[in-house]
Amino acid sequence: MRKFMNGYFYFTRGQRNGTLILVLIMFLIFVFPYICNLFNKSSRYYPDPGFIKQVNAFYLLSGHEGQTAEIQGEPELLSPCPDRVPNESGPRQTEESLTGEPVRQASQHQDKALLPQPQLPDKTALPARMKIDINSADTTELMMIRGIGPVLSRRILKYRDILGGYYTVSQLLEVYGIDKDRYLETEPFVFADTSTIVKLSPVSDEFGVLLRHPYLKYEQVSEIFRLRSGNKLNSPEDLLLSAVFNEADLTRLYPYFSFD
């Protein structure tokens, strides 16, 4: 039996010394926290006065209950207990509980004066009396209107060039990106000066010039040239003789046609 034990559990002197040292280290690791607690019996901490002042300044700027405080003297020792942390559901720890002195109340007007004032946006709506002519305005003027940015302003100008000018403000609804809601916001601040509209001449303009207009289709331009070749086109009403034109087409085209 002894030989069996010596065969499996025999330690050399070096192994025994190493085992003892390992046991000693493990013992110190487990005992060390208890030794530290013996020398440090208090779990309190001393708050930094500068940090307390920053907290007070935050409460002053944010207008929390109109309270502001300045640390005077040495602050009271704070315990890291959860019930002393201010929160919305429980009682707040006021300056008086920290220093033993009454809290200095800041007036409501002082709080509002110290609060950061909101910055007005660079682009505000134009006054109702000030209107922009959409037939002469550039992109800078159009962007003064709330809801009109650089993309929409360029689209408005591009469509104006294709049309030859707007004869009514409601044509803005034909611009891609302007829906009914945006139009209702824009309409009070714009108007259309119809004296600057560039008109077409159905009796003399080339085929490509007429076809470029967004209100004219290919078959309609072809019909204009057919009537023109037979000297049957002398007024806008002559277009109604053709099946490719109706009264709605004539109403839209009338401001852009000149038969002089």
DSSP E strand boundaries for 28-71: 67-68
Give the integer Cα–Cα distance in Å for 99 and 73.
8
Q: Looking at the domain assignment, is residue 213 inside a domain?
A: yes
Among 150, 201, 199, 142, smallest CA distance to 169 is for: 142
**One-letter amino acid of 83:** D
The pLDDT assigned to 256 comes to 94
Helices (H), 119-241: 139-142, 150-163, 180-186, 207-211, 218-229
Look at residue 105 and give its three-state secondary structure.
Answer: strand
DSSP E strand boundaries for the chain: 67-68, 104-105, 132-133, 190-191
- The total of structural domains in the chain comes to 4
Give the integer Cα–Cα distance in Å for 34 and 40.
10
Q: Looking at the domain assignment, is residue 44 inside a domain?
A: no
Q: Looking at the domain assignment, is residue 28 inside a domain?
A: yes
Q: How confident is the model at residue 242 (pLDDT cuts 50, 70, 90)?
A: confident
Range of the domain at 15: 2-32
Q: If 0-12 CB within 10 Å is exposed, 13-18 middle and 19+ buried, where does residue 228 land?
A: middle
Convert the pLDDT of each residue in 35-82 to its tens digit.
777 776 555 555 667 777 777 777 666 554 444 444 444 444 444 444
One domain for residues 105 and 55: yes
Q: Looking at the domain assignment, is residue 40 inside a domain?
A: no
Query: Is the confidence at residue 154, as pLDDT, over 90?
Result: yes
**The domain spanning residue 180 has which CATH number?**
1.10.150.320
Contact between residue 176 and residue 155 where contact means Cβ atoms under 8 Å apart: yes
Give the integer Cα–Cα distance in Å for 137 and 68.
53
The region of weakest confidence among 26-35, 82-91, 176-185 is 82-91
The strand pair at 132-133 and 67-68 is best described as unpaired
Among 190, 96, 201, smallest CA distance to 152 is for: 190
Q: Looking at the domain assignment, is residue 41 inside a domain?
A: no
Give the integer Cα–Cα distance in Å for 123 and 128.
15
Q: Residue 259: how many CB atoms within 10 A of its CB?
A: 13
Question: Which run of H or E residues covers position 169?
Answer: none
Q: Looking at the domain assignment, is residue 9 inside a domain?
A: yes
Average pLDDT of the segment spanning 89-101:
47
Q: Looking at the domain assignment, is residue 182 inside a domain?
A: yes
Q: How confident is the model at residue 9 (pLDDT cuts 50, 70, 90)?
A: low
State both tokens at 84: 């002393």
The pLDDT assigned to 130 comes to 77
The strand pair at 104-105 and 67-68 is best described as antiparallel
The pLDDT assigned to 78 comes to 42
Query: Is the confidence at residue 185, as pLDDT, over 60?
Result: yes
Convert the pLDDT of each residue in 102-127 to its tens digit.
445 544 545 554 555 544 444 444 55
One domain for residues 188 and 213: no
Q: Looking at the domain assignment, is residue 84 inside a domain?
A: no
Residue that finishes a domain, picked among 154, 172, 196: 196
Q: How many residues does the chain have?
A: 260
Q: Which residue has the tokens 């806008």?
A: 236
Average pLDDT, the chain: 76
Give the integer Cα–Cα distance in Å for 17 and 51.
52
